[in-house]
Amino acid sequence: MAQRPELTVYDWPTGPYPARVRIAIGEKNLQASVRFVPVNLWKGEHKTPHFLAKNYSGTLPLLELGDRTFIGECTAITEYLDALEGAPTLTGATPREKGLIHMMSKRAELELLDAVSVYFHHGTPGLGPAVEIYQNAEWGLRQRDKAIRGMHYFDSILRKQPFVAGQTFSMADITLIGGMIFAGLVELPAPTECTALEAWYAHMQERPSVKNRLTISRPAEIPSSS
């Protein structure tokens, strides 16, 4: 077997978007190949010129390859990780699977994860005045309501099938997990009638990749100033 590439992930361990890549790393058993560089969201380190030179979007997580190639955006990073060794297990093996998984993953982003993010940044104090340069509270509350509608939508999906995109765990589930993590952080619970969503999420939290996502870093993390 070829030697695994050396990978660096810039993230903030408790962040809901970084959780998506950490879960994918766990699912692909790539922990030994990854080192983590903490980028402090609360101090705005992801918006500094030093970090923006690596990732124009100024978002986390960010994957750095051994040749200094940088890959941002959770979906793109997951695609890369899933294709490293053998057949993909998270992003689909057939055209039909790929289409369904990517569709449902995008819906999980738009209808829940990103909506909760906008609510956090605009409808709550967010990351604080030093980072939140502009806030629109009305927009934030509208996105909170959108997130609740998204929970109802995914509850209806999960009443018909065990996973977000069908019969197997995929990137779409990881994206929805990220949304539920973020909803928990901002204290936005799922409506009580969303019992299928709640049961699915409880089941997902028992997966080793989800349960251990905060402890997969190497014992000696690289300092953020490196």
Q: CATH code at 15? A: 3.40.30.10
Residues of the chain with pLDDT under 50: 1, 219-226
Residue 226 lies in a domain: no
Radius of gyration (C-alpha) of the chain in whole angstroms:
17
Segments forming the whole domain that contains residue 182: 95-207
| 193 CB neighbour count, 10 Å cutoff | 11
In terms of domains, do 114 and 144 share one?
yes
Residue 202, token pair as written in the block: 């409880």
Q: What is the total count of domains within the chain?
A: 2
The model's pTM:
0.91
* Model pLDDT, residue 219: 40
* Model pLDDT, residue 216: 76
Tell me the residue type at 38: P
In terms of domains, do 67 and 133 share one?
no
Are 108 and 100 a contacting pair, CB within 8 Å? no
* Model pLDDT, residue 192: 98
* Model pLDDT, residue 217: 64
Q: Shortest CA distance to 37 belongs to which of 64, 10, 3, 59?
A: 10
* Model pLDDT, residue 220: 38
In terms of domains, do 158 and 200 share one?
yes
Spatial separation of the C-alpha atoms in residues 186 and 189, rounded to whole Å: 9
* Model pLDDT, residue 153: 98
Residue 224 lies in a domain: no
